[in-house]
Every structure is written in C-alpha cells, then in structure tokens.
Structure 1
Amino acid sequence: MDNAGVPEGDAFNIKNETDGDNGIPIYDIEFETEYGDYDFEIAIDGGRIVGADYEVDEEWLDALGGNPVSLEEAAAIVAGKVPGSSAADVTIWEESEDGRGRYEGELFFDGMKFEFEIDPQTGIIFDWNADLRD
C-alpha cells in the first residue's frame, strides 16, 4: 500500500493469493478504496514488484488534496516510485484533450515498463501500470 500511496485504513476487500507470472512465483495482491481499485504482483522471492495496475477515480483528485506540480516535478514523483531510476529516465508530456489537463508518460527501467498519468493540480498519480518486460 505504501507504493500506491494508500493509507492502510482506506483499503478494503484485500485479497492476497499466490500465482505465477512469466514463470515467476508471485503474490497477487488486490484491494479497493472509495477512490480506486489496486492490483499488485510481487515476486515471492525478493519482494520485487513485477506488475502493478491502479486507477484513482478522477472525481476524487481534488478531495484527496495535494499541491500543483510542474512537468519536472511530476517526473521526479514517478522516479521516486521506482528505486534506482531518476527523473532523467522518465518520458513525460502534457495532455488536455478531454477537459482536465494531465501529465502522461512512461519509464523503462530494470526490465520494467511503467506508464502513468498525473494530475498537475494535485501531484497525484491517478493511473499507474507496471509490467515486467523480457
């Protein structure tokens, strides 16, 4: 829950099952909050996150609070979620095609592909996807 930035008290319907992904034994952890659904795949050996998918409902962004961030600050937020990476590793751009503006981007690092959307008004990552790449 730390990686998703979710306080433990906000999570419910928590499920933890063992599974496999690309031959890697994993814990498949799912939980819900009032503001979104979260799914993580964590390697049983070593605890590395090898998959993640979550989305925060956009109507909750203002209620969750935060502070406005620049494109550069948003890149640093993403790098902070991926140990060993830096903001220079992040490809990020501004989108505003459907009303509320957002930053979108991706990061390829340590065999993983990360895709994200960040709300520039709050600095909250409201869409995050991470997949192990061959």
Structure 2
Amino acid sequence: MKWFIIGVTVLLSLNVIGCGQSESRSSFDGVNAEFSDIDDKTAFMIALDDADVPHDDAYNIKVEQDGDNGIPVYDIEFETNYGDYDYEIAIENGAIVKADYEVDEQWLDRLGGNPVSVEEAKNIVLEKVPQASLDDIDIRRENADGRGRYEGRLFFNDMKYEFEIDPATGIIFDWNADLRR
C-alpha cells in the first residue's frame, strides 16, 4: 500500500467530478444512477465536506486506494488541530462507505456554535444524512462524564451511524458511519 501527500496547491486546482473519466452505472445507494469514477482529490474534498473541515485546517493527509467488502475505495486520513479523521470513499460514485472522526472536546468551546435542543440535534444529523427522517434517529442526553452530550444512532440505507453532539455548541464531535452489507 502506497501513501501519498496531497498538497494545498493540488487542492486549489481540483477538477469537477467526472471530467475526463469513464462513466459507469451504480446501484450503491439503492438507486440506479449514472456516476463517473472519482479521483483521489475529489474523494479528499468529499471527506473534508462531510467532516465540515476547511482544507486549510487539514494536515498529515494520506490517501490510498483500497477496498471494503469488494467496493474499491479511497482510504483517506487527515488531522486537524482539533481532531483526527478517517474516511473510505467509493471510487465508483463518491459515496461515503466509512467515516470515523473525533473532535477534541477541549476544542469544542473554541470552535464556537450555539446551544441546541434534542430536536435541533436531530436536525444536525439530518443535515449529514438528508434522505433519513427524524423518526429514524435514536438520540438521548447523557451526562455521565460531567460534560453533557447527545448520543445517538441511525440506521439508514445499509449504513449504521453513531454520533455524539455537544449540546453547548451543536458540533458533532464524534461521528462513525459504516456500511453494513
């Protein structure tokens, strides 16, 4: 397995998804649609967007072609001053096959945000998984460790999502998504 670093100059000159690449058909998300294979830079940008991380904040970036349950993926890792991020992005269509990140709880207050209710926390999850419904989300308030949090899970479209949201800022500080086939 060969790792390589993506430089900031490469990120600034990204091509549009699918330019000059072969088209294929996919039913990965349960819908037949036309997709183009994505490149490593596009996969990295999908991960940054999902994590809501500005590209200038990412460093120690590693991208590798790999596979997950027979699905060719880009395995992407990067760090920020406030957390570590790991993603698997399907090469065929850019779908997130796996995501795992944790934001350092000490950074939550520095990152800002506004207090949120349980219902608002559910809507934050729906922003990340817009096809799901509020009824699909199981969420509860936890205070066991002294710092409050909303913990929850969501099963949707062959994906299992587990998350923790800071009620003081509305920031998802622990997110795990995993394809279950």
TM range (shorter): over 0.9
| 8 Å Cα contact 1:90/1:107 also seen in 2 | yes
Code of the aligned partner of 2:176: N
The structure 1 segments of at least 4 consecutive aligned residues displaced by more than 2 Å after TM superposition are none
Unaligned runs of 5+ in 1: none
Aligned to 1:6: 53
With structure 2 as the length reference, what TM-score do the two structures score?
0.73
Task: Point out the structure with max Rg over C-alpha.
Answer: 2
- From 61, 66, 82, the counterpart of 2:113: 66
For residue 110 of structure 2, give the secondary structure of its aligned residue in structure 1. helix
- State yes or no: 1:20 paired with 2:70: no
Matched residue count: 134
Aligned to 1:41: 88
Q: Pick the structure with more helix per residue.
A: 2
- State yes or no: 1:122 paired with 2:179: no
- Greater RCO, CA 8 A, separation 6+: 1
- State yes or no: 1:105 paired with 2:152: yes
CA RMSD of aligned residues (A): 0.7
What is the deviation of 1:39?
Answer: 0.5
- Partners of 1:49 and 1:83 in 2: CA distance: 14
- From 85, 97, 101, the counterpart of 1:50: 97
For residue 3 of structure 1, give the secondary structure of its aligned residue in structure 2. helix
Q: Pick the structure with more strand per residue.
A: 1
- Partners of 1:12 and 1:26 in 2: CA distance: 21
Q: Identity percentage over the alignment?
A: 72
- Partners of 1:21 and 1:96 in 2: CA distance: 35
For residue 98 of structure 1, give the secondary structure of its aligned residue in structure 2. coil
- Partners of 1:77 and 1:69 in 2: CA distance: 9
